[in-house]
C-alpha cells in the first residue's frame, strides 16, 4: 500500500514538472526527426539520381546515334554537292538542244549525228558518275537525276542497272512535289515507302539536292532499313525507339514499339528543351522517356525504357528506413529520459532559488497575475522583478547619453585601441546611425579672418552651432547616405559619412557642393579638407589626419577651396606613360578577329592604368580611353565599314564613353565593344573567304591538267598559302591536295572510258608527272588500277 502511494506521489510531482516533460518530448523529436527526414530525403534523392543518371546514359546513346546519322547525311550532302559540280553532270545538263536529241525518232539527219554522238557520250559519262557515286556509300540504295528541261529521269538502281524514263512514266513519283517546292538545299524527306522497278516496294530515306539549272535535282535514296539496323538500333535492343520528324511523322521505329508518340507527352516536353528525360506511367508501369533533337535533320530521337529494372534497389532502402525509424524512436525515448534528467538539474536549482526569496514578492506577483504554478513561471516572475530594477538604473544612465555620444564620435577620429567589435557594440548602444565600412571624412574650417575678428568665444561657438545645423538640414548629404557631425577643434567641424560604391570623382563633387551650400547659407568663407575613402572604421583616424594636413595648404592653394592630399601629391611631378605597345597588339588581334587574345590584351591595358591609378585623377583617365577608342575605330575602319554599325542609330560613341561614371563601367563598355566588333570582322572575313574558295575550285576544275599547286593558286589570288589551305579544308571538308587528286582522277576516268589513249598519256593529260604515281593515286581513290577500270568501262 505504501509503495502504491509513493508511486502515485511521484506521478503527481511529474505533472508539476511540466518543463521536464517538454524537455523529454523535444529531445526525442530533435533526435529522431533529423535522421528520419534525412533518410526520407536520401531515399527520394537516390531514386532521383537513379532516374537522372539513367536518363543521362540514354541521352548519351541518343546523341551518339544522332552524331553518327548526321555524319552519314553530311557525307551524302557533301558528295551530292560534288556530284552536282562534276563536269559530266554540268556537261549533260548544259548540252545545247538536249531536249531535241531526246525527242529524235526514226531516221536521224546526217548533220545531227556528230552532235548526237557527243550528247550520248555526255549521258554515258553521267551514268558512270552516278554509278560511282552509288558505290561510294553502302547506305545508298539508288540515285535519280531529274532533268526538267528534257523532262526525263535517269537512274542508277540497287541492281547496278541504269535506266531512263520520261517523268510521267517514272515508277517513283513521291519526291517530285518536294523538288518543285524546295526552299533550302539539300532537303531531307521523311522515310517513305517507294515503288521499285519493275515491281515491289522499299522503305527509303531520300535526300534531294537541287542543281543550279532550272528545277533539275539529284535524288539520293538511302536504305532506311539498313540505316536503322546499322545505326539506330545499336542504341539498345531492349528499349523502344522512335525517330519523329518536325511534322510529327514517325520516321523510324523499333519493331517492339507498341505505343504511339501521342501517348508519351513528347510534344509538351519539346516546348521547353531540345533534349531531356522524364518519366511517365505507360501500360501499367513506369517508363523513362529520353529524347534529343537533331538540328541538321529537324528530327527528334526518342528512347523509352522500363524503369522497374533500375529502381528495384531503392525499394530495399525504403524498407530499411521503416525498420530503423521504429528502433530509433524506442532508443531515443530511453536516452532522452536520462539525458533530460541531467539537464533539468539547472532548472531545479533556479526554481529553488526563486522560491527561496525572503521578501515573498515572487509569490505575490504570481497570485495577482494568475500565473500557472510551474517551475518556469516561478523563474519568469523572478526574472521580471530583476528587469524592473535594471530599467530604473537604465533611465538614470540615458540622461548622460548625449555627452557620451559626442565623446564617442570624437574618439573615432582619434587614434584609439578599441577593437571593431567594441566599436560596433558601443555604436549600437549609443544609437549612432553610421556603417563601419566605406567611410570618408570632410573637415570644415572657418577661415582665419573669421576666427580672429573678435576674441568673443561666445560668437565663435555660435557660428559653429549654425554650421552644424546647416549641415544637418542640408540636402547635399541626404542623397541616400548616413553621416554624423562632430565639433573637433575651436574652428573646425568634421563630417563623417558613408560613400558606398562611389569613387574619388563623386567624393570631390560632393565636397564642392557641401562647401558652396555652407558658404551661401552663412555668408562666411570656409575651406574644406578631404580625407581618403576608408574601407573600414579603423582607417578613419588616418583619413581625418589627411584632411587636417590638407587644410594646412590653404596658404598655397588659397582659402575657400576644397583641398585633398591627392591634389598635393599630384603636384609633385608624377607622370603616367601611355601603353602604346599594348594598344598596337590589341588592334592587331582585333584586325585578325582573335577575340580571346584581344580581350586579354585589353585587360593588360587596364592593368597598366590600375598600377598607376594613384598617380592619376579620374579626369586624366578619360582621355586615355578616348585615345584607345580612336585607335580601335581606325582598325575597324580598315575593313571598309564604320564602327557606328555597332551602336544604335544616332548614338555618339564618344559622348557615350564620356558619360560613363566609373572605371568598371568603362571596362565593361570596352569589352562589349571589342566582342561585338570582332564578331562583325569575323563575319566579314568569312564572307570574303567563301568568295576565295569558289575561285580556287573554279581554277582546279579548269586548270587541273597544269602543274598546279597550293603556292601557285595563292600567288594567283594574292593570298597566304596557309590561309587558303585552312579555309579550303573548312569549306569543302577536304585538303587542297586531296581535292586536286579527285578532280584529276574524275577526268582520267572519262578518258579511260573513251579508250583511245594509253594510260601514261592519260596521266600526263590530267596533270600527273609520272605514270607510276598516276596508277598509285588512281588505285587509292577507286580501288582499281587504270587498266582494270579501262577493261570494265571502256
Nearest in space to 215 (alpha carbons), one of 168, 182, 190, 188: 182
Neighbours of 534 (CB within 10 A): 21
Q: How far apart are CA 515 and CA 476, in angstroms?
A: 10
Query: Is 166 in a helix, a strand, or coil?
Result: strand
**Which letter, b or e, does each residue of 506-519 get, where b requires 16 or more Cβ atoms within 10 Å of its Cβ?**
ebbebbebbbebbe
| Alpha-carbon separation of residue 141 from 44, 132, 147 (angstroms) | 51, 13, 20
Whole-structure pTM value: 0.39
Q: Report phi then psi at 672, rounded to 5.
A: -65, -40
With a cut of 50, say whether residue 450 has pLDDT above it. no
**Angle of helix 663-703 relative to helix 580-591, nearest 10 degrees?**
40
**Could you tell me what percent of the chain has a pLDDT over 90?**
0
With a cut of 60, say whether residue 571 has pLDDT above it. no
Grade residue 13 by pLDDT with cuts at 50, 70 and 90: low
Nearest in space to 410 (alpha carbons), one of 395, 438, 437, 432: 432
With a cut of 70, say whether residue 345 has pLDDT above it. no
Q: Is 366 exposed, middle or buried (0-12, 13-18, 19+ CB in 10 A)?
A: middle
Q: How far apart are CA 155 and CA 153, in angstroms?
A: 7
Q: Report phi then psi at 351, rounded to 5.
A: -65, -40
Residue 362 has, within 13 A of its CA and on its CB side, a CA count of 22
Specify the higher pLDDT residue, 470 or 339: 470
> Using one digit for the tens of pLDDT, what is the confidence trace for 647-664?
777 788 888 887 776 677
Please give the pLDDT value at position 603: 92
Grade residue 644 by pLDDT with cuts at 50, 70 and 90: confident
> Using one digit for the tens of pLDDT, what is the confidence trace for 150-204?
888 889 887 778 888 888 888 888 888 888 877 777 888 878 888 888 888 888 8
Q: List Cβ<8 Å contacts ≥24 apart for 467-475.
A: 467/493, 467/518, 467/522, 467/526, 468/493, 470/517, 470/518, 470/521, 470/522, 471/444, 471/495, 471/514, 471/518, 474/514, 474/517, 474/518
Q: How far apart are CA 51 and CA 286, in angstroms?
A: 11
Neighbours of 347 (CB within 10 A): 16
Please give the pLDDT value at position 358: 41
Q: How far, in whole angstroms, is CA 751 from its chain's centroid? A: 56
Please give the pLDDT value at position 453: 47
Cβ-based neighbours of 775, under 8 Å, separated by 6 or more? 759, 763, 785, 786
Max distance between CA atoms of the chain, in angstroms, equals 145
Q: How far apart are CA 375 and CA 140, in angstroms?
A: 92
Nearest in space to 750 (alpha carbons), one of 51, 126, 17: 126
With a cut of 80, say whether residue 598 has pLDDT above it. yes
Cβ-based neighbours of 22, under 8 Å, separated by 6 or more? none
Residue with cell 525504403: 318
Specify the higher pLDDT residue, 426 or 471: 426
Provide the β-strand partners of residue 147. 152
Section 28-49 average pLDDT: 72
Please give the pLDDT value at position 558: 57
143-152, 225-234, 348-357, 598-607: the lowest-pLDDT one: 348-357
Grade residue 396 by pLDDT with cuts at 50, 70 and 90: low
With a cut of 50, say whether residue 446 has pLDDT above it. yes
With a cut of 80, say whether residue 456 has pLDDT above it. no
**Which letter, b or e, does each residue of 485-497 get, where b requires 16 or more Cβ atoms within 10 Å of its Cβ?**
bbbbeebbbbbbb
Grade residue 294 by pLDDT with cuts at 50, 70 and 90: confident
Cell triple for 550: 590638407
How would you write 532-597 as a 3-class SS string? CCEEEHHHHHHHHHHHHHHHCCHHHHCCCCEEEHHHHHHCCCCCCCCCHHHHHHHHHHHHCCCHHH
DSSP assignments along 728-750, one per residue: HHHHHSS-HHHHHHHHHHHHHHH
Please give the pLDDT value at position 789: 86
> Using one digit for the tens of pLDDT, what is the confidence trace for 88-119?
778 888 888 777 877 777 777 888 788 888 88
Q: No. of H helices and E strands in the chain?
A: 30, 18
Section 701-714 average pLDDT: 84
Q: How far apart are CA 659 and CA 246, in angstroms?
A: 50
Neighbours of 259 (CB within 10 A): 14
Specify the higher pLDDT residue, 245 or 706: 706
Highest mean pLDDT among 32-41, 198-207, 588-597: 198-207
Structure letter (DSSP) for residue 299: E
First-to-final CA distance of the chain: 127
Q: Is 284 exposed, middle or buried (0-12, 13-18, 19+ CB in 10 A)?
A: exposed
Cβ-based neighbours of 17, under 8 Å, separated by 6 or more? 344, 374, 375
Highest mean pLDDT among 585-589, 626-630, 779-783: 779-783
> Using one digit for the tens of pLDDT, what is the confidence trace for 212-241?
776 788 888 888 888 877 777 765 666 777
Highest mean pLDDT among 75-84, 515-524, 743-752: 743-752
Would you mind telling me the total number of residues written for the chain in this entry?
794
Specify the higher pLDDT residue, 124 or 661: 124
Provide the β-strand partners of residue 279. 288
Please give the pLDDT value at position 576: 67
With a cut of 60, say whether residue 572 has pLDDT above it. no
With a cut of 60, say whether residue 259 has pLDDT above it. no
Task: Kindly report the average pLDDT of the chain as a whole number.
Answer: 76
Residue with cell 586531296: 738
Q: How far apart are CA 531 and CA 442, in angstroms?
A: 6
Nearest in space to 628 (alpha carbons), one of 573, 671, 676, 574: 671
- Asked if 469 contacts 492 with a C-beta cutoff of 8 angstroms, the reply is no
Amino acid at each position: 500500500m505504501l509503495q502504491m502511494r509513493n508511486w502515485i506521489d511521484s506521478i503527481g510531482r511529474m505533472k508539476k514538472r511540466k518543463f521536464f516533460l517538454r524537455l523529454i518530448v523535444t529531445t526525442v523529436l530533435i533526435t529522431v526527426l533529423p535522421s528520419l527526414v534525412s533518410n526520407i530525403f536520401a531515399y527520394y534523392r537516390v531514386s532521383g539520381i537513379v532516374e537522372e543518371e539513367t536518363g543521362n546514359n540514354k541521352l548519351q546513346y541518343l546523341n551518339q546515334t544522332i552524331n553518327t546519322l548526321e555524319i552519314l547525311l553530311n557525307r551524302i550532302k557533301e558528295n551530292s554537292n560534288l556530284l552536282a559540280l562534276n563536269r559530266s553532270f554540268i556537261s549533260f545538263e548544259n548540252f545545247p538542244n538536249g531536249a531535241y536529241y531526246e525527242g529524235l525518232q526514226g531516221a536521224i539527219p546526217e548533220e545531227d549525228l556528230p552532235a548526237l554522238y557527243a550528247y550520248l557520250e555526255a549521258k554515258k559519262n553521267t551514268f558512270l558518275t552516278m554509278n560511282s557515286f552509288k558505290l561510294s556509300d553502302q547506305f545508298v540504295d539508288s540515285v535519280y537525276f531529274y532533268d526538267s528541261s528534257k523532262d526525263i529521269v535517269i537512274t542508277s538502281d540497287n541492281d547496278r542497272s541504269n535506266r531512263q524514263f520520261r517523268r510521267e512514266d517514272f515508277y517513283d513519283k513521291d519526291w517530285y512535289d518536294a523538288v518543285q517546292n524546295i526552299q533550302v538545299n539539300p532537303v531531307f524527306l521523311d522515310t517513305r515507302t517507294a515503288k521499285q522497278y519493275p515491281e515491289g516496294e522499299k522503305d527509303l530515306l531520300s535526300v534531294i539536292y537541287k542543281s543550279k539549272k532550272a528545277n533539275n535535282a539529284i535524288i539520293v535514296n538511302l536504305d532506311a532499313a539498313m540505316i536503322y539496323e546499322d545505326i539506330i538500333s545499336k542504341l539498345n535492343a531492349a528499349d523502344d525507339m522512335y525517330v519523329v520528324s518536325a511534322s510529327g511523322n514517325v520516321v523510324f521505329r523499333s519493331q517492339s514499339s507498341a505505343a504511339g508518340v501521342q501517348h508519351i507527352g513528347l510534344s509538351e516536353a519539346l516546348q521547353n528543351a531540345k533534349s531531356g528525360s522524364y518519366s511517365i506511367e505507360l501500360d501499367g508501369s513506369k517508363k523513362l522517356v529520353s529524347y534529343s533533337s537533331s538540328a541538321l535533320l529537324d528530327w527528334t530521337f526518342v528512347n523509352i525504357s522500363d524503369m522497374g529494372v533500375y529502381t528495384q534497389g531503392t525499394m530495399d532502402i525504403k524498407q530499411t528506413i521503416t525498420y530503423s525509424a521504429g528502433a530509433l524512436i524506442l532508443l531515443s525515448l530511453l536516452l532522452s529520459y536520462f539525458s533530460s534528467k541531467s539537464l533539468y538539474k539547472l532548472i531545479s536549482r533556479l526554481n529553488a532559488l526563486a522560491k527561496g526569496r525572503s521578501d515573498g514578492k515572487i509569490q505575490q506577483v504570481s497570485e495577482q497575475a494568475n500565473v500557472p504554478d510551474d517551475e518556469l513561471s516561478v523563474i519568469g516572475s523572478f526574472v521580471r522583478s530583476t528587469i524592473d530594477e535594471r530599467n530604473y538604473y537604465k533611465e538614470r544612465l540615458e540622461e548622460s547619453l548625449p555627452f557620451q555620444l559626442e565623446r564617442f564620435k570624437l574618439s573615432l577620429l582619434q587614434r584609439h585601441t578599441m577593437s571593431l567589435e567594441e566599436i560596433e557594440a558601443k555604436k549600437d548602444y549609443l544609437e549612432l546611425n553610421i556603417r563601419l565600412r566605406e567611410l570618408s571624412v570632410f573637415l570644415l574650417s572657418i577661415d582665419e579672418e573669421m576666427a580672429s575678428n573678435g576674441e568673443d568665444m561666445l560668437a565663435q561657438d555660435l557660428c559653429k552651432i549654425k554650421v552644424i545645423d546647416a549641415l544637418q538640414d542640408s540636402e547635399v548629404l541626404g542623397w541616400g547616405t548616413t553621416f554624423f557631425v562632430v565639433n573637433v577643434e575651436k574652428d573646425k567641424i568634421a563630417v563623417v559619412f558613408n560613400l558606398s560604391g562611389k569613387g574619388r570623382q563623386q567624393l570631390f563633387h560632393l565636397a564642392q557642393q557641401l562647401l558652396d551650400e555652407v558658404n551661401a547659407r552663412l555668408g562666411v568663407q570656409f575651406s574644406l579638407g578631404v580625407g581618403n575613402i576608408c574601407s573600414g572604421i579603423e582607417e578613419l583616424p588616418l583619413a581625418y589626419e589627411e584632411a587636417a594636413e590638407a587644410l594646412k595648404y590653404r596658404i598655397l592653394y588659397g582659402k575657400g577651396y576644397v583641398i585633398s592630399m591627392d591634389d598635393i601629391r599630384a603636384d609633385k611631378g608624377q607622370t603616367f606613360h601611355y601603353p602604346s605597345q599594348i594598344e598596337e597588339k590589341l588592334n592587331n588581334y582585333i584586325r585578325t578577329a582573335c577575340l580571346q587574345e584581344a580581350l586579354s590584351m585589353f585587360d593588360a591595358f587596364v592593368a597598366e592604368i590600375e598600377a598607376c591609378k594613384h598617380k592619376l585623377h579620374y579626369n586624366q583617365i578619360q582621355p586615355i580611353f578616348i585615345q584607345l577608342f580612336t585607335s580601335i575605330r581606325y582598325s575597324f575602319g580598315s575593313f571598309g565599314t564604320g564602327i557606328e554599325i555597332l551602336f544604335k542609330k544616332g548614338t555618339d560613341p564618344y559622348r557615350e564613353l564620356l558619360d560613363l561614371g566609373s572605371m568598371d563601367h568603362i571596362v565593361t563598355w570596352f569589352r562589349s565593344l571589342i566582342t561585338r566588333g570582332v564578331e562583325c570582322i569575323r563575319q566579314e572575313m568569312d564572307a570574303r573567304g567563301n568568295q576565295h574558295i569558289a575561285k580556287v575550285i573554279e581554277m582546279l576544275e579548269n586548270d587541273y591538267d597544269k602543274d598546279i599547286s597550293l603556292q601557285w593558286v595563292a600567288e594567283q589570288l594574292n593570298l597566304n598559302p596557309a590561309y587558303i589551305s585552312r579555309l579550303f579544308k573548312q569549306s569543302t571538308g577536304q585538303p587542297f591536295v586531296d581535292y586536286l587528286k579527285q578532280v584529276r582522277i574524275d577526268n582520267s576516268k572519262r578518258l579511260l572510258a573513251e579508250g583511245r589513249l594509253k594510260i601514261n598519256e592519260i596521266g600526263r593529260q590530267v596533270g600527273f608527272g609520272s605514270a607510276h604515281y598516276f596508277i598509285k593515286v588512281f588505285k587509292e581513290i577507286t580501288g582499281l588500277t587504270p587498266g582494270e577500270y579501262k577493261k570494265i568501262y571502256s
